[in-house]
Amino acid sequence: MCLSIPSKVVKIDPELNIATVDTMGVQRTAGLDLMEEGSVKIGDYVLLHIGFIMNKIDEEDALESLRVYQEILEKLDEEERRVLVLEDDNCVNREAP
Amino acid sequence: MSSLELKDLYDGFRDPDVIKGYQKLIAAEAKKLDRNVNIMEVCGGHTHTIMKYGLTQLLPENINFIHGPGCPVCIMPKERVDHAYVLAMQPDVILLTLGDMIKVPGSHGSLQDARAKGADVRYVYSPMDALKIAEENSDKKIVFFAIGFETTTPMTAALLDVVIKRGINNIFFHINHVTVPEVMKELIDSRDEHVNSYDHRIDAFIGPSHVSVISGSKIYELFSIEYHIPVVVAGFEPVDVMEAIYMMMKQFNEGRSDLEIQYKRLVTPEGNLKAQALIEHYFEKVSLFKWRGMGNVPNSGLKLRDEFAAYDAEVLFENILPYDEIDDHKLCICGDILRGFAKPQECSVFGTACKPSSPLGSCMVSSEGACAAYYKYGNLI
């Protein structure tokens, strides 16, 4: 019921107050009744729910989240490398022939 | 030119490496915390994500999920299902509804059973589908059995708006819209000392995703300010949920009980003001709405304002609708599950007499119900 789908606006029909959206290759129409007039534009990412556009997806915020996730991965990689170096330093078999 | 692709909005928030990254960050915070915490995910959509991606298995033992009542189909009391059934059985009525509502058992059976007896019951993808059906069946009364939280209420209002503006005279509404903050409040207020033990204490809420897109995060302020319970509004993807849990763990460790938004790409504190104005124009609160398994929850339901009574199916069909109180199925513990007092596998009929193909209770009927999620993903921890 509440699960909604990110989609991209590909066409707008101001007469009928509907937009055509693309959801991973599937196209369908969605009502613009819940959106301020003129606020939705072609190319916008939107959230679709039971035939209506609920809201626009803020691209900057989405990109910011994805950037944070990449940073987390890089930090964890660094941490893992550091642990490997330490383990190597303390390797008990170092003197072994 | 945007540097964001549509697939990033899916894949970026489902990246297994990022999920594992948060797993490590959460584990470090959980270690520092040195106590157990119960996190309630209010919304069935979050329950679904947690079970589908096996997130419980990625989290330390001191984090426990309590599955909340945020599933509009699950909380639909038999009395309202019976209304739908009676309306559907009228020869001049076509009954429309959304989602799994069609399978929910009432005392006479489900809408599916009504259909088997010849009733014209239709599942619609969108409320707006009612317009075409009304046009093609001008000799029939089209009744839209409206369900859902704040997420779907504005869509019902938008349909009524079109119906009025176009002067359509054969579409009517049976309203069962409910509101999230009131039931969250009830969940806390109804916990007496006996159930306020560790097992049932709610330490934090994961705020619903799409309710908040409409209403804004402001509707949860009360919980962080008055109840001192952290609330993090999260998206539905697994990375969203993991990030929200990390944010909560930091709050616990820093002694904060803030209202935070993890789902920033769609949720603002104010929400969708146009949708809120539509709701405000057409609906008012009812003093009590009965939730299946939870009983009457004050101020948690909506009805059409009196000036729109001409479109209200409950007014139009007042003489034929039943008003008796009905008890829930004796063996079903859906009520305790919706309140967070029990887990699905603690129910004596879970997976035996009660399955998605033959549900006894509503937590098993809806794909968003906790029992259905446990059954489907076999995540019996």
The owner of tokens 């006479």 is: B108
Question: Please, what sign has the CA dihedral across residues B214, B315, B329, B112?
Answer: negative
SS3 A92: coil
| Residue-level pLDDT at B152 | 96
Chain B residues inside the 8 Å CB shell of A45: 4, 6, 9
Of B162, B243, B266, the CB nearest to A55: B266
Question: Which of B24, B73, B239 is facing A1, going by the closest CB pair?
Answer: B73
CB B50 within 8 A of CB B66: no
CA A13 to chain B, closest CA, distance in angstroms equals: 16
CA distance B8 to B12: 5
Confidence of residue A94 (pLDDT cuts 50, 70, 90): low
Three-state SS at B205: strand
Measured CA to CA in angstroms, residue A10 lies from A46, A86, B3, B150 at distances of 11, 54, 17, 27
Rounded to a whole number of angstroms, the distance from the CA of A97 to the nearest CA of chain B is 37
A9 pLDDT more than 60? yes
CA–CA dist B365, B358 (Å, integer): 8
The pLDDT value recorded for residue A16 is: 93
Interface of B with A in 56-75 (CB under 8 A): 70-73
Query: Which pLDDT score, from 0 to 100, does residue A84 have?
Result: 82
Q: A54 and B236 in contact by Cβ < 8 A?
A: no
Two structure tokens written together for B98: 């959304």
B residues 115-134 closer than 8 Å to A (CB): 125-129
Mean pLDDT, chain A, rounded, equals 89
Rounded to two decimals, the pTM is 0.93
> What is residue B218's predicted lDDT score, i.e. its pLDDT?
98
Indicate yes or no: CB of A8 within 8 angstroms of CB of B4.
no
A36 CB neighbours in chain B (<8 A) are: 274
User: Bridge-partner residues for B290, per DSSP?
Assistant: B296
What pLDDT is attached to residue A97? 53
Task: Please give the pLDDT value at position A77.
Answer: 86
Q: How far is CA B172 from the centre of its chain?
A: 23
Q: What averages of pLDDT result for each successive group of 10 residues across chain B (381 residues)?
A: 82 95 96 93 93 94 90 91 97 94 89 97 96 98 97 98 98 98 91 57 94 98 96 97 98 98 98 98 96 90 98 98 87 84 90 89 84 80 41
Phi, psi for B145 (deg, rounded to 5): -85, 100
Residue A4, pLDDT score: 73
Cα atoms in the 13 Å half-sphere on the side-chain side of B141: 18
- What is the β-pairing status of strands A18-23 and A5-13? antiparallel
What percent helix, strand, coil does chain A show, rounded to 5?
30, 30, 35
In chain B, what residues touch A49 (CB-CB under 8 Å)?
151-152, 155, 210
Chain B residue with Cα closest to A53: B155
DSSP characters over B211-243 = HHHHH-GGGGHHHHHTS---EEE--SSHHHHHH
Token pair of A79, please? 């941490």
Instruction: Band the pLDDT of A93: cuts 50, 70, 90.
Output: low
For residues B247 and A65, what is the distance between their CA atoms, to the nearest angstrom? 13
B96 to A25, B19, B186, B221, B317: CA distances (angstroms): 29, 40, 31, 36, 16
Instruction: Please state, in angstroms and rounded to a whole number, the distance separating the CA atoms of residues A1 and B151.
Output: 9
At A2 the pLDDT is 46
- What confidence tier does A3 reach under pLDDT thresholds 50, 70, 90? low
- Structure tokens of B58? 């990625």
- Would you call B208 and A22 a contact, using CB atoms and an 8 Å cutoff? no
Per the CB < 8 A criterion, the answer to whether A23 and A29 are in contact is no
Interface of B with A in 264-293 (CB under 8 A): 264-266, 272, 274-275, 278
CB contact under 8 A, A76 and B24: yes
Residue B258 near residue B217 (C-beta atoms within 8 A):
no
Minimal C-alpha gap between A74 and chain B (Å): 10
Find chain B residues with C-beta within 8 A of A69's C-beta. Answer: 12, 15, 18, 21, 239
